[in-house]
Structure 1
Amino acid sequence: MTLLDFYRQYPDEASCEAALRSFREHHGLFCSQCGGLRLSWNPSHKSWTCMDCKHEMQLRSGTVMQGSHLPVRDWFAAMFMLTATRRAISAKEIQRQLGRKRYQPVWEIVHKLRDVMGRRDSLYALHGDMEVDEGFFSTETPEDQKDCPLKRGRGSQRKTSVLVMAESSRSATPPARKYSTPKTVGHIKMLVIGDFKASTITGKIKTGTDGNADVTTDGFSSYAALEKDGVTTSHHAVVADDKKSVGKVLTWVHIAISNAKRSILDTYHDIKAEFLQLYLNEFCYKFNRRYLGFRLFDRPELCACTYRANFKHRIY
């Protein structure tokens, strides 16, 4: 779907509301009160009434749009623009496209959508051959540390730590291009972490995998107990002083980290550490569905109708 196709398919608010109703009914709508399946549509209230317990469910209830007074068409347009390009897109750009005077409501729409993208991806457990490494993303210096001397390295106030996992296996056929990697990549995960303790990293890997992965990491000591603790089937640590040597083994985590940094840096002047996970959610969601192209717009609709955002917000 192109931008022109989008505006043809959703020319007004009524068409978007009809599409939202159809999508929810098609994907198994049930009463949030009693779980009943016999629901009757009330067009004047834009709601369903349960025939068993008489509970009324609004069109947006139980979705990411619940509590918002902005048009459904704005939500659909924001979903489309977030997924129409591989690069990161800012709320400012979406605000201009929507013709909205106020920035804050659009900013919150975008972050809520990023939130549910991450929740959808969290259901998928990585498996098979995997690469794991940590990355350091530039973020704003916290307010309470702006007057402190700037540290360097891992402890810098301007760096936020991220654990990166990627399904990566050697291809059966050699790469067509000379400089292509001989490995193929499946799904990836990027998770913001507060520290590099073994318990923190082990817990994140255990949550994000199916427990049967064969993991390759660098020689960092926090990875040492992965196999021993039963988090992975096997663990191979690459110990090398030369970063290029490690990069050849941990190919896809390094590519993912580099592309995510470049995507964020090209779009935003600076971001706060508290919002970094949301931006990474968007990057991973699009990376994991990179072959869908313009058909990707259908997927966020499922996220939007299935989850309510955990992102704290004001209601507009």
Structure 2
Amino acid sequence: MNLRKFFEKYPDEASCIEGFKKKRLEMGIVCKKCQHTEHSFRKTDLKFQCKKCGSRISLRSGTVMENSNLPFQYWMLCIELMTLSKKSFSALEMQRILGHKRYEPIWLMMHKIRRVMSKRDEKYKLEGCIEFDEGFFERVDNKDVIDDKDDNNGDNPKQGKRGRGSERQAKVLVMVESEPSISAPKKGKPNRKVGYLKMVVMEDLKSETINKEVQKSVEKTASVLSDGYTGYSKLKEVIAKHQVVVEPDKKKSAKVFPWVNRTISNAKKVILGIHHNCINQQYVQNYLDEFCYKFNRRYFGDRLSQRLMIAALETTWY
């Protein structure tokens, strides 16, 4: 839904509480004490009471909102805004929109939602033909800059070596389903049909580390298309087929690996445009998970916010 429809449906805190309550009842609530499934709702303390043993469960319990003191309307609106935009919002911008005094609770709320996105995508494995490549994303240390504070104008306190050996670059394994297109592609479009995407921050890009991640993220029956990087030399141990294409010409390489190059480029532009490359090294994965979640559900349309809300109610934050 757009923002006008959102505020028509959820104009205040009470309507948001009612929305979360209805959704939890639809999903089903199980008593932690006696496993009974019938509950009544207490408006006085926002708890579900078991009709059999009388034990109570908070409306926030067992969800991403557990132990949070932020209003339900904040959570509802933040989920709506994060799915409404193809790109994203910085925590500072979200703080301004919500009118909250403190930055840190809003920053934490957004990262909790990103972890929900990550947990959802972890349930699925890539299959078919998959393009592989490495991406290198700018990151900062705690001592350099406060994560996600977008009012520093992207100032980079240190400049160092670029690429695979840089200490200021997060090493990311990028995998995207990419099947040859049956019909003739439109002008300017890739000749391969894109599927689902995964981006995983890696400690290193050695073959053993890559194979370990591939076993978690890719079906054994898949076939992989990659360049000649040595880290992919042992992929045949964990997948059915591995094709290596070494193409030094960048224009020709872009046609061989159209989607992995495009997704890396788009993710970098989002991080640069929204967060000015000032992402703490501990949270690079969270931002990439948000990008992948929305990319993988790019055709969901109005259903995206509802699907994320269901995922948020099924995911406990630890």
Q: Give the TM-score, by structure 2 length.
A: 0.91
SS at match of 2:170: strand
1:19 matched to 2:19: yes
Contact 2:162-2:169 within 8 A present in 1 as well: no
**Counterpart selection for 2:209 from 200, 207, 213:** 200
Residue in 1 that maps onto 2:317 = 309
Tell me which amino acid in the other structure corresponds to 1:197: K
Residue in 2 that maps onto 1:284 = 292
Residue in 1 that maps onto 2:108 = 108
Alpha-carbon separation, structure 1, partners of 2:23 and 2:157: 51
Alpha-carbon separation, structure 1, partners of 2:193 and 2:284: 27
1:154 matched to 2:148: no
Cα deviation for residue 281 of structure 1 reads 1.0
Residue in 2 that maps onto 1:219 = 228
Alignment root-mean-square deviation, CA: 1.9
Cα deviation for residue 264 of structure 1 reads 0.7
Alpha-carbon separation, structure 2, partners of 1:97 and 1:115: 22
Residue in 2 that maps onto 1:314 = none
Tell me which amino acid in the other structure corresponds to 1:308: T
SS at match of 1:219: coil
> Per the alignment, do residues 64 and 147 of structure 1 end up closer, same or farther by CA in structure 2, a change over 3 Å counting?
closer
> Per the alignment, do residues 35 and 232 of structure 1 end up closer, same or farther by CA in structure 2, a change over 3 Å counting?
farther
Alpha-carbon separation, structure 1, partners of 2:76 and 2:316: 16
> Per the alignment, do residues 135 and 74 of structure 1 end up closer, same or farther by CA in structure 2, a change over 3 Å counting?
same
Contact 1:113-1:309 within 8 A present in 2 as well: no
Cα deviation for residue 267 of structure 1 reads 0.9
Superposed, 1:171-190 pairs within 5 Å as: 171-176=181-186, 178-190=187-199
Alpha-carbon separation, structure 2, partners of 1:47 and 1:96: 31
Superposed, 1:48-197 pairs within 5 Å as: 48-141=48-141, 143=143, 150-176=160-186, 178-197=187-206
Cα deviation for residue 222 of structure 1 reads 1.7
Tell me which amino acid in the other structure corresponds to 1:205: V
Identity between Structure 1 and Structure 2 (%): 42
Alpha-carbon separation, structure 2, partners of 1:56 and 1:82: 32
Contact 1:140-1:158 within 8 A present in 2 as well: yes
**Counterpart selection for 1:239 from 246, 260, 267:** 246
Contact 1:130-1:214 within 8 A present in 2 as well: yes
Cα deviation for residue 86 of structure 1 reads 0.4
Tell me which amino acid in the other structure corresponds to 2:303: R
> Per the alignment, do residues 148 and 22 of structure 1 end up closer, same or farther by CA in structure 2, a change over 3 Å counting?
closer
Cα offsets for 1:254-291 (capped at 9, x unmatched): 11000000011011121111111111111011111111
The size of the alignment, in residue pairs, is: 306
Unaligned runs of 5+ in 2: 145-155
Cα deviation for residue 220 of structure 1 reads 1.1
Q: Give the TM-score, by structure 1 length.
A: 0.91
1:248 matched to 2:260: no
Alpha-carbon separation, structure 2, partners of 1:191 and 1:220: 17
Alpha-carbon separation, structure 1, partners of 2:54 and 2:76: 30
SS at match of 1:293: coil
SS at match of 2:235: coil
Cα deviation for residue 93 of structure 1 reads 1.6
Cα deviation for residue 68 of structure 1 reads 0.6
Cα deviation for residue 34 of structure 1 reads 4.4
Superposed, 1:24-39 pairs within 5 Å as: 24-39=24-39
Name whichever of 218-227 and 259-268 sits farther off. 218-227
Cα offsets for 1:199-234 (capped at 9, x unmatched): 11111111012221111111112212112x2x2111
Name whichever of 263-272 and 150-159 sits farther off. 150-159
Alpha-carbon separation, structure 2, partners of 1:147 and 1:70: 34
Unaligned runs of 5+ in 1: 311-316
